[in-house]
Amino acid sequence: MFMEQLSNGIALGSIYALTAIGFTMVYGIIRLINFVHGDIYMMGAFFALTGLTVLGLPLIPSFLLGMIGASIVGVLLAKFAYSPVFKAPRINLLLCAIGAAIFLENFAMLVWGPETQSFPTLIENKTYSIFGFKATTLQLIILGVSIALVLILTYIVKYTKLGRAMRCTSQDMEAAKLMGINTNRVVYFTFMIGSSLGAAAGVLVGMYYKAAYPMMGFTAGLKAFVSAVIGGIGNIPGAMLGGLIMGVSESLGAAYISSGYRDAIAFIILIFILLVKPSGILGKSVKEKV
Amino acid sequence: MLHVKELDVYYGGIHALRGISFDIEEGKIVTLIGGNGAGKTTTLRTISGLVTPKEGTIKFKNQNLLKIPSEKIVGQGVVQVPEGRRIFVELNVEENLMMGAYLRRDKQVIDEDLEYVYKIFPRLKERRRQMGGTLSGGEQQMLAIGRAIMSKPRLLMLDEPSMGLAPIIVEEIFECIKYLNDNGLTVLLVEQNANIALQLADVGYVIETGEIAFSGEAKSLLKDDRVRKAYLGEE
């Protein structure tokens, strides 16, 4: 049973990690707690579902449709909801994010209806057992897709010009401008990448639990936030680690303590981390050199 | 080369610059001196396009800099070494330098310029793989200047390069500014340390509460009573 719960936890954790990465990237660039991120994840699931059921597309194109659709929504939000208030105090930006979240939830209810929609079963879910690990096909797919996306992201951030511009912008936006970096473009690009990763997580969850509903992003967004904070907000490897820790401890906690505490466990870990290392596991405490 | 005319800048309700005008001739070192909050940094930030003025014009080689966004101003060759260095602490020395060349595509010349920077600051070469944040203050200043050189400046603007550095390092930095100027680079130097700035510069402008109080040849400003009293601490 432990091994099964562990693979459950790893699958769940990879989904949290994907969601948390988008969250932490946006925070890293514009210091915004992007409360709309959970709803982007929901939009991803619905776009993919529409691709599968309405348009009758196969799985992979639908998956991509979810990611692309949600990243367009993310960029549009950045453009029309956030960029007008970039220069205003941060609280205005936060309020815009909350407003955008309410908008997207209601938009989804209007378009796809408020009830839970079932995701078609596309993959025969078999159980494999490797070295004592028990994992299902879907869990392996979740893990594989997450690893692949994280590798692509790491490549972009580390080795491309735009990635370097992103790192500089997140360290010091003004200095980045003085290097000739078009920081607006970097911000939109960050929303695009972050949203597509969030959407991928949304589609994977839809496939895993075979359901999508307009409020599915609410808890997911909160947990992404918690994962990002646990790992050290603004830090991409930290967000992955935070997501995995959350997923595994939630699954094990649900199995060995009580499944009623499933969601509470996330926040217990958060409180514990904030008490012990407020900047998060991989977060750096800000030190100023004068 | 650069003509700043009647610049008016507000920060919220605060009138930070009140009609500042000055000119920079090609090949010269021009310095803006003045106390805290006089508007020196604001002037540089406005030239770099980080602050939008309410009124006034900034012309660089007959181009209106106010019409172009900050990232394009760098491409024009107007490059700033900001106050407090602002290097990228989580990038290593060489990556920091390469960020200066972000807009450039001439890969070969970039490599030559990198060698040029390493020649001026051998210490940066020794530490090329070290993270920017682990450098000492003086090395960070060298890195910031080196990074600006990588942007191929035609006008290099330095904001308080002496700030927080030991006198011997300040001397080293100023030697380097002189060396760059001798090689044809035009420099706009903003300093609180009036003495050292005026010794190096050709022309000086004194800013007080957002206005140019007076200006003149740097050598004659050094002997000016008003400067000696207010900025050189002499009676």
Q: Is residue A290 part of a domain?
A: no
| HSE (side-chain half, CA atoms, 13 Å) at A138 | 18
What one-character DSSP code corresponds to residue B157?
A: E
pLDDT of B123 = 93
Q: Is residue A166 part of a domain?
A: yes
Distance from CA of A27 to the nearest CA of B (A): 17
pLDDT of A289 = 45
Q: Which of B86, B87, B102 shows the shortest C-beta gap to A180?
A: B102
List alpha helices for A31-58, DSSP H.
37-53
pLDDT of A285 = 64
How many domains does chain A contain in total?
1
- The structure tokens listed for A54 are 């309405």
Q: State the CATH architecture for B26-49+70-230.
A: 3-Layer(aba) Sandwich (3.40)
Where would I find the beta strands (DSSP E) of B12-127?
14-24, 29-33, 55-60, 63-64, 78-81
Neighbours of B64 (CB within 10 A): 10
- Report the chain A residue with the minimal C-alpha distance to residue B86: A175
Q: Is residue A282 part of a domain?
A: no
Nearest to B201 by CA among B182, B178, B227, B180: B178
pLDDT of B185 = 95
Q: Is residue A283 part of a domain?
A: no
Averaged pLDDT of chain B: 92
Cβ-contact A16, A247 below 8 angstroms: yes
pLDDT of B35 = 85
H or E segment and range at residue A285: none
The whole domain housing A203 covers 2-276
Q: Which of A168, A174, A290 shows the shortest C-beta gap to B99?
A: A168
Q: Is residue A281 part of a domain?
A: no
Taking the Cβ of residue B91 and every Cβ of chain A, the question of whether any pair is shorter than 8 Å is answered with yes
Contacts with A, B 116-145, CB within 8 Å: 133, 137
Per-residue pLDDT of chain A (290 residues; tens, 9 = 90+): 788 889 899 999 999 999 999 999 999 998 888 999 999 999 999 999 999 999 999 999 999 999 999 999 999 999 999 999 988 888 999 999 999 999 999 999 999 999 999 998 888 888 888 777 788 999 999 999 999 999 999 999 999 999 999 999 999 999 999 999 999 999 999 999 999 999 999 999 999 999 999 999 999 999 999 999 999 988 899 999 999 999 999 999 988 888 888 888 888 899 999 999 888 888 876 554 44
Q: Is residue A286 part of a domain?
A: no
CA angle, A192 then A196 then A202, to 5°: 145
Does residue B50 surpass a pLDDT of 90?
yes
Q: Is residue A223 part of a domain?
A: yes
Q: Is residue A287 part of a domain?
A: no
Report the C-alpha gap between A203 and A46 in whole angstroms: 8
Which residues, 6 or more positions from B31, have their beta carbon under 8 angstroms from its beta carbon? B188, B189, B190, B191, B197, B198, B200, B201, B203, B204, B205, B218
**pTM recorded for the entire structure:** 0.89
Q: Where are the domains of chain B?
A: 26-49+70-230
- Report the chain B residue with the minimal C-alpha distance to residue A179: B100
Q: Which amino acid is at B90?
A: E
Q: Which of B87, B91, B164 shows the shortest C-beta gap to A290?
A: B164
Instruction: Work out the end-to-end distance of chain B between its first and last CA atoms, rounded to an integer number of angstroms.
Output: 37
Cβ-contact A242, A230 below 8 angstroms: yes
pLDDT of B144 = 96
Residue A158, domain CATH: 1.10.3470
pLDDT of B12 = 81
Neighbours of A188 (CB within 10 A): 18
Cβ-contact A112, A48 below 8 angstroms: no
Do A181 and B71 lie within an 8 Å CB cutoff? yes
